[in-house]
Structure formats: C-alpha cells, structure tokens
Amino acid sequence: MSWLVTGGAGYIGGHVVRAMVEAGESVVVYDDLSTGSRDRVPQGVPLVVGSVLDAAGLEKAVRDHEVTGVVHIAAKKQVGESVERPLHYYRENVTGLQVLLEVMAGAGVDRLVFSSSAAVYGMPDVDLVTEDTACLPMSPYGETKLVGEWLIRAASAAHGVRSASLRYFNVAGAASPELADTGVFNLVPMVFERLEAGAAPRIFGDDYPTPDGTCVRDYIHVRDIASAHLAAARRLRDAEPGTALTLNIGRGEGSSVREMVDRILEITGNEEHAPEVAGRRAGDPARVVASADRIRAELGWSARYGLDDMIESAWLGWRSRRP
C-alpha cells in the first residue's frame, strides 16, 4: 500500500511519517506548510505542498503516487483560535475533510485513518472516558472533529470506506529534537516558555475536586500516538469494507497539573521556580482520563512511554532550538 499523510510535515504528522517509514510503509506527505516544516519530512519521502481544500492538487497527488490509503492529520487545532475564527476552522477542518473524501471516492481509495481529538467529549463527568461517553464538545475545534467523525462514518456506510478515528488525549514529547513541537499551546511547552523567561510556571486553578485541587489529564507521548496510527493503518489493510473504528489514544492514567509542573521543574533543574496559582480558565474540566481498553482489544496497542520520557524528550527539543 501507499499512504498519503496529510499534515505529515507537522509535529504529530512528522512522527507518524517517521514511524510508518521505519516500519517499511510507502508514504507521501501532503502539507500546506502553514505550520509544518520541510525539515520534518524524512529524506526520500515525497513532499507535495498543497491544501486539502484543493481537490485538483489532492487528485494529482493520489494519482501520481498511486495512493491506496490516507492518514488525515492536517487540521487547525488551537481551541482558543477556533472560538475567535469558527468559520475558518469549519472550512479547514470540515470542508477540507469533505474534499478529501470526495477525492478518495473518485479515485477508489477506501482506507482512512483520521486524526480526531478528546476535545469531542467536552467536560465528561466520569472517571474514565470511554468511546461511548457522550460527546458534547465545548469549542468549534472540538465540534469540527466530531463532525469529521460523522462524515467519515457516513462515507464508510455509503462507499465502503474502511476507517479509524483516533481520539488523542494530551500529547507531549518528541522522538528526536528536530521533531519537537514548536508551538506553545500545551502544558509542557508553556512551562518551558515561562522558565526561559525567568518566570514561575502558572497553574490555572487549585480548587478542583481532585486529590491536589488541580486538573487531572491523561498525557500521552507523541511516539505512542505515532505507533497507534501505524497499528490502525495496518488494521485497515485487511479490514472488511465499511469498517468504522473509533478509538481513544491514551495511557489510561491521570496526572495532575501540579504533578506535571513539579516533575518538569525537577527534570529541567528549575526547582527554585515554585509554580504560582492563577484563577481557573473557563471550560477546563476537573478530570479527563482515557479508557484505553478498546484500542488494546482492536489493535493490540498500548502506550509504552511515561511522563519522564515525555518531559525529557520535549526539553531536549526545546533546548535544541534555543542554544
């Protein structure tokens, strides 16, 4: 098979491409480079620069590289920005997926791994979030991911598309410094940015109904995210037409924000910067931790890396860009 990886020059996409190439899969990257980088694309892997809104560009890439399956990671993903620019997010994430599905249908490509998100759940009031937990997204970003799952499910039913929608939880870490996340939108790089400025890390709210009062999240190494995509792609290779999987990607373990910040300070040697507590951020649920039972049963996959691996590798990547 030949896999088209949209968004394959981005943070998560770059890791997925590397994992697939190292496993012997044939891969071509399709990316508009709005947030991705050519440096993340392995040598010898074709890079097609284009938007998923460009049907002609997608059709050419699929035809020229004899694509038989798609891993769709390209998307806008900043929750706050999605609130400010909902039309932009719906166009990029929903219309872009619609165009991709139309191109796939026209070309007879019937295998799709979709990058979804735990944002589809919103604020679940459960100890462990299963794939059957009600989806009540709280941002346009989360809405676009849920609508994307609906679109794919409809395409599976109508056109026999074999699909796997993967709902990521809190991604961190890097397989190597050059693949590290360059954005500052998640907890780990946000703490790094504060430390670099000589400021104390911030914790937003310490009065939640959790053991230490701070939010509890399920953190997952990006290398585990990548291996889950590879496992899903291989599962779809021999799947029955119309197969439509929806799977959480998490460790099934919760860690509080305070625990994470304290561990970051220790690993980076910045224990003198005691965290400061600010008020709660609107929309932050107290606890969001994945149940990873279904992905283990369907794909034989489970997470391999722990918190220290995530923090240490992310710190190496951060320092490599700031010598």
Give the residue numbers marked as catalytic: 141
Tokens standing for residue 109 = 């490509």
70 DSSP assignment? E
Q: Name the β-bridge partners of 26.
A: 2
Contacts (Cβ under 8 Å, ≥6 apart) of 126 = 133
Contacts (Cβ under 8 Å, ≥6 apart) of 312 = 267
3-class DSSP state of 292: coil
For residue 59, the one-letter residue type is E
93 DSSP assignment? I
3-class DSSP state of 293: helix
Q: Count CA atoms within 13 Å of residue 160 on its CB side.
A: 7
- Ranges of H-type helices in 26-122: 55-64, 79-84, 86-89, 96-107
Q: Residue 90: how many CB atoms within 10 A of its CB?
A: 18
In angstroms, the Cα distances linking 216 to 169, 203, 277, 281 are 12, 12, 15, 14
Closest by alpha carbon to 187, among 116, 121, 265?
265
Token pair 């896999």 is at which residue? Answer: 3
